Amino acid sequence: MAGVGLVYILLKLPHMTCFRLSELGVMVIWGIIQETAVELISIGGGMWEYVERWYNPSLFKVGDSDFTLLPVLIWVVAPVVFYLIALRINKKCDSIV
The answer on pLDDT for 3 being more than 60 is: yes
**Residue 93's pLDDT band (cuts 50, 70, 90):** low
pLDDT at 94: 56
Tell me what percent of the residues of the chain surpass a pLDDT of 90: 41
Range in 29-33, 62-66, 69-73, 87-91 the model is least confident about: 62-66
The answer on pLDDT for 55 being more than 80 is: yes
**Which carries the bigger pLDDT value, residue 48 or residue 55?**
55
**Residue 97's pLDDT band (cuts 50, 70, 90):** very low
Kindly report the backbone phi and psi dihedral angles of residue 34, in degrees, each rounded to the nearest multiple of 5, phi listed first: -65, -45
Q: What would the mean pLDDT of 31-44 be, rounded to a whole number?
A: 88
Q: What would the mean pLDDT of 28-40 be, rounded to a whole number?
A: 91
CA 88 to chain centre: 19
Kindly report the backbone phi and psi dihedral angles of residue 62, in degrees, each rounded to the nearest multiple of 5, phi listed first: -120, 105
CA-to-CA dists, residue 63 to 15, 53, 60, 95, angstroms? 41, 20, 10, 54
Residue 31 CB neighbour total at 10 angstroms = 21
